[in-house]
Amino acid sequence: MLGKFVEERFVYRQTFVIRSYEIGPDKTATMETLMNLLQETALNHVSSSGLAGNGFGATREMSLRKLIWVVTRIHIQVEKYSSWGDVVEIDTWVDAAGKNGMRRDWIIRDCNTQKIITRATSTWVIMNRETRRLCKIPEQVREEVQPFYLNRLAIAAAAQNHNEKIDKLTDETAGRIRSGLAPRWSDMDANLHVNNVKYIGWILESVPVDVLEHYNLTSMTLEYRRECRQSDLLESLTSMKAKVSEESSNKSRDLLSTHLLRMDDDKAEIIRARSEWQSKQQH
């Protein structure tokens, strides 16, 4: 299960084999598979570091205060999707994100070629497990995690589109709306809220099938706005458009999409997302 520490224990490294149940119709790993592997590596990093409390990825000092980590943003860029049976190597590390956040980055390499095939970055904040309210990082928790901080970016700041606002879709601006999406009990994680990765599947429910079939999802940014419980009913909205490339005079076949996952009843936002798609014919 466990990987190993490298680079003076600042980086945690783990290898995985892509299983038959982790691939999609084109026989390559899905975006959800990649996100699950990133999450697994992150949790094993915490447990292997000796910091783990009794929570799901929480440190000892966090567990004493009934605190948990929650993700506010994930950005992932995929150069190549691995195939069934491929072995991948994942590196992960953490750093501060402002005064009260933590940044976690990852890179995925093809074990055979050692080429980096995926890069990802995420921002995490602390929430009280009982009140479900965000709070500042206690000094005792900061002292636990600070020795592991590594000032290194998996994705250059300029390439992260941090300042690029994700528009909020409405019934009028969405090209497709899929209603009646219901979380199952098995979609819940150990902190009793919907696993972060499950949202991706619901987001993709409103993407046209011909896009899923003929395009590769090469980049995805997820902004998490609120929690979702098992009893909630959800709606998925998507708007697609052609990507205009400034570098090339050729008409690009690439697509951009904007997504919104919201509550079915009061329309409260759960996630805003943005994706980039590359035509499989260009490969």
Q: Which of 44, 75, 196, 228 is catalytic?
A: 228
Could you count the other beta carbons within 10 Å of the beta carbon of residue 269? Answer: 15
Cα–Cα distance for residue pair 85/64, rounded to 1 Å: 41
Closest CA to 24 of 72, 82, 109, 74: 82
DSSP assignment letter at 159: G
Concatenated DSSP letters of 5-26: EETTTTEEEEEEEPPGGGB-TT
Entry field: residues in the chain:
283
Q: State how far the Cα of 223 lies from the Cα of 227, in Å rounded to an integer.
A: 12
Indicate the SS3 state at residue 151. coil
> Under a CB-based contact definition with an 8 Å cutoff, are residues 46 and 235 in contact?
no
Is 228 a residue of the active site?
yes
8 Å CB contact between 77 and 119: yes
Identify whether 193 is a catalytic site residue: yes
Q: In the annotation, is 111 catalytic?
A: no
Of 161, 191, 195, 214, the active-site residue reads 191
Please tell me which residue in 193, 196, 216, 259 is annotated as part of the active site: 193
Q: CA 86, CA 17: separation in Å to the nearest integer?
A: 6
* Residue 126 near residue 55, CB atoms below 8 Å: no
Q: Residues with catalytic annotation?
A: 191, 193, 228
